[in-house]
Structure 1
């Protein structure tokens, strides 16, 4: 665990380390092992409400955690409905509520129970999908998000080993029947890997790809620091020449507020043509002899009701006194109607996608331009906080003997 740190003090009154516990064998084993590592923990149990048994299983899991002397909190999802992309929607809702619980408890680390077989399955799926070298690294030991560190300490431990650990400890767990439903791609891959005996092969492939990704991430971070300028308005200056495709891809992901990078082939075409263009909700433009990546107005999010801490367009967080955010105030794009003086010298194309406050159909504030219709609106500002770090934001793979700079688990 030390290689996955740093960790906060394990002492009363300090923020706990959170654990996502579904009640299944992997996450329950993680909770049992974590309790032998430290005392200051907080297990988060989510009742998704998608099966009739889910509420009872959540209560049973709380009882089992209590018997382990692991403090736990129940999170109940009430707005999930069966339908298309059910698994993805449930996962997004589950993580959003767990992150919210982490913020309330002051947790900066959230432990996840993904294990070695999950890693092999992810690597197989990405290999078959034709993922690039970064995708083949599969899941990271650590993933940095704007709110918490997601830490997966069990990526080197098999599903069988974790269940054997629970059996020896005399502990039972919940078996989710959806884990046997072969209508899901991951379940089909799980059965195929078991039948072929290739789990270790794909796990090793992911670890090797992850170590190589870390080398590339360091090089790309150095290039970004040396050649790019990041602006609070959410756009990025690239200098007189376009960077190599992987670096441009990372910038596009950040400016577009995307969780995943655009298609590598599309980015390579941008670099080869070196012409103004649009891609993945962003616009590559030339201004005053330099290249910039800005948000494409056609791709920005729809207006939303304004509230402190609210996120707009997947990348801007509103900070404002609650008294300012009266009924009817909403956040949307500034649009093309800004006067030249208001734009402070920036082109209208750049400023159109900036976050702005609107009230009763009228633009009242564009904080990034230090403009407001009246003095009362000056108390609001937007923090540019994209969902993924431009420099990679994770720890992947295993340390190789010849790589003295690698920071992460050893092989």
Structure 2
């Protein structure tokens, strides 16, 4: 249920039927100190982002019947004033939540209050509050939109959940194929475990924001199998897996702040020649993507590269090409409906092959008739998004890109021509 919630330091709101906090508009303090909630019992019932018009209705009002008789809500409506701040969790009328400052008030005859609004800043909501929060996402609260018909979703218990992590990791099991030009296909099967979390740091000053961080961390483990017949004319082949959306409401003291995480996961295969690929590989990694703000330095991107381990369990290549097989996480994190940072993280396996190659990382000697170079790699790129002004800092006119990061390391590099079979007794080698 969409609710109106209080500012920092105001009395704690009681639980709603949905389990989210219930409260009301609150007026900002000129000193930047915490303020007291006003007009409890209202929710955001309608909002037009284009015009800024919104409707506040009593909590519990049904659609088409917004509230009790006007006399029953007169005191509540009278408490709504210009300058107050609306802090709404995600809902049907505001899917990413809403943080709004009231600029005009007009009580309606049906007991609702029609208000004019403008986007508010976190400084208006939190004042001089200080917070540093890393919140692991409960995978059961992540909305999953499958991009493959046979995608299976499950949850893997996390024994470390009591130490600050989520109680479970999200597992996606994949088994599907994608038709390619020329009558061939690419097939992806395997499993992917994801463990996302969001980061939020805020330090408010008397008149403005002093320091902030908005970002996300992603832990992943995958075992996957790709087969494909590729040519350069095919271009990069993208196999969408799933889209994930989460809208956690984190508590800064007693004040809820809405963070929105969107994540798209897909496999990508490409080649610059002609080659057939059959590779089974696994990877583990943890990465962090953030946008950091200081009053002296403004906004800067930050990447925590964490760790990346890629292990090709078994791979067979035949042809003449450089082949790249990657698993991509493309994500963004937002405060309410204002994007803060976006990034693409791709751990990949790159193979330069001439001839026929079979590699088994369990310890078996590679079988190579030609040349092979097998490399693990990691690509990271992204940007601090415009529309970051929700934090009360200057609005960026365009995205501020991250420095593109690429790191590649050798796994197997070999040039071998397998020797001919030994001559049988009674025969002689050919000259």
Does TM-score exceed 0.5, indicating one fold? no
**TM-score (structure 2 length as normaliser):** 0.24
**TM-score (structure 1 length as normaliser):** 0.25
Q: Which has the larger radius of gyration?
A: 2
- Of Structure 1 and Structure 2, the greater strand share is in 2
- Of Structure 1 and Structure 2, the greater helix share is in 1
| Structure of higher RCO (CA pairs closer than 8 Å, 6+ residues apart) | 1
